[in-house]
Amino acid sequence: MSADKTILIVGTYDTKDDELNYLGQCIRAQGGGVMTMDVSVLGDPSQPCDISKHRVAEAGGSSIKAAIDSGDENVAMQIMASGAASEALRLYREGAIHGVIALGGTMGTDLALDVCAALPLGVPKYVVSTVSFSAMLPPERLAADIQMILWAGGLYGLNSVCKSSLSQAAGAVLGAARAVEPPRRDRPLIGMTSFGKTILHYMVTLKPELERRGYEVAVFHATGMGGRAFESLAAEGAFACVMDFATQEVVNHHMGSGISAGADRATNAGRKGIPQIVSSACYDLVDLIGWQPIPERLQGRPTHAHNRLLTSVVLTTQERHEIAGVLGDRLAQATGPSVFVLPTGGGNEWDRPGAPLHDAEGLTAFNEAMQEAVPDTTELRVLDCHINDDAFSAAVLEIFDAWVAQGVVPKGAA
């Protein structure tokens, strides 16, 4: 039976030869094809790989000798990571592979993250790692559709425990390669950030209106990883326009929360010149990991336990001033059309008069500070409404329609 999909297996074949070969056996047993890539430095595999370590190092602009002579394993693996990412992308573009699976501990995982980030959305990317889901993995290193499986019991050698992880991963990546429906790109794509309908409503109005105009709309849940996916696609230039309304991940990062989308949140669309409409949903809250104690400096404030995973804590007036400045700095990085829409009546459903987290003085202070912080390169629209009012969505559509009419945003598909 000929293989219908080919999976690239990436790993250090000098130390993980048995485990990597077992992955290949599992994929082949299911009718898949395998291409192997060796990213080791010091040793050699038991049998030649399709992409040798020498070829990988050369693709990274160096050589195995240089990697060894550096005397620094971190330097050496960064050479291999650069080359592996370059080679994986080349193989995908040539149609030689349909998915990738990488295996490793901290060293192999560090490299695997670069390989996955190099491949576009829709290419199955699986990382089998001893540190899957660890806090060591910064959000900005994670590809938008990366998948991770914990390599339980897999530090050294094969056993029945680690075979369970490896065989599942082999089936997962091959199944994904067979089942994936890549993004169509037949309509201009709009990226929007939001939270659930209990706190923000605008996507309920805007999504069908934009679709009626011939656009595809992807709404990203701005709770850390959603914002990371949004930023990675913006950096690729995947969006015709962004509506980045839920910028609270900027707050989280500034306040040191573990629920972060990375230091570059709310910058990549602007840097890429993508037309952006930005707002301040949940500007007044910092989201914290719900099962961890609230930091001492944030205790004694109004809070909302959304569930066992997430708790929101209200910002002080001074902190709201800081956030206005941070958002202004992000807006100043835009190289394309940029509008900031400021709904002065509040930025989430808990931020209405009479609602449990409303702070009228803090809201007024933020509104004043935000109007000062918006740079001259960004148009400011001040609205006398709440972000969940129909007037907010209407103003956004007015801006968007004007951009379409002016050719700033491409027209939607008929």
Per-residue pLDDT tens digits for 337-377: 999 999 999 999 999 999 999 999 999 999 999 999 999 99
Lowest mean pLDDT among 25-29, 74-78, 217-221, 410-414: 410-414
Q: What percent of the chain has pLDDT over 90?
A: 90
CATH number of 6-179: 3.40.50.12020
pTM above 0.85, yes or no: yes
On the question of a common fold for 6-179 and 189-406, the answer reads yes
Tokens of 411: 């027209």
> In this model, does residue 328 exceed pLDDT 60?
yes
> What are the two backbone dihedrals, phi and then psi, of residue 333, each rounded to the nearest 5 degrees?
-85, -5
Residue-level pLDDT at 152: 86
CA-only gyration radius of the chain, Å: 24
Residue-level pLDDT at 154: 83
Confidence of residue 1 (pLDDT cuts 50, 70, 90): very low
- The ranges assigned to domains in the chain are 6-179, 189-406
Residue-level pLDDT at 364: 97
> In this model, does residue 92 exceed pLDDT 90?
yes
**What distance in Å separates the CA atoms of residue 301 and residue 298, rounded to the nearest whole number?**
7
- What is the rounded average pLDDT for all residues in the chain? 95
94-133 burial, b at 16+ Cβ within 10 Å, e below that, comes to eeebbbbbbbbbebbbbbbbbbbbbbbbebbbbbbbbbbe
> In this model, does residue 3 exceed pLDDT 80?
no
Confidence of residue 183 (pLDDT cuts 50, 70, 90): confident
Residue-level pLDDT at 254: 96
> In this model, does residue 2 exceed pLDDT 70?
no
Mean pLDDT of 207-232: 95
Q: Domain 189-406 maps to which CATH number in 3.40.30.10, 3.40.50.1820, 3.20.20.140, 3.40.50.12030? A: 3.40.50.12030
Mean pLDDT of 296-322: 95
Residue-level pLDDT at 202: 97
Mean pLDDT of 157-181: 94
> In this model, does residue 414 exceed pLDDT 90?
no
Confidence of residue 185 (pLDDT cuts 50, 70, 90): confident
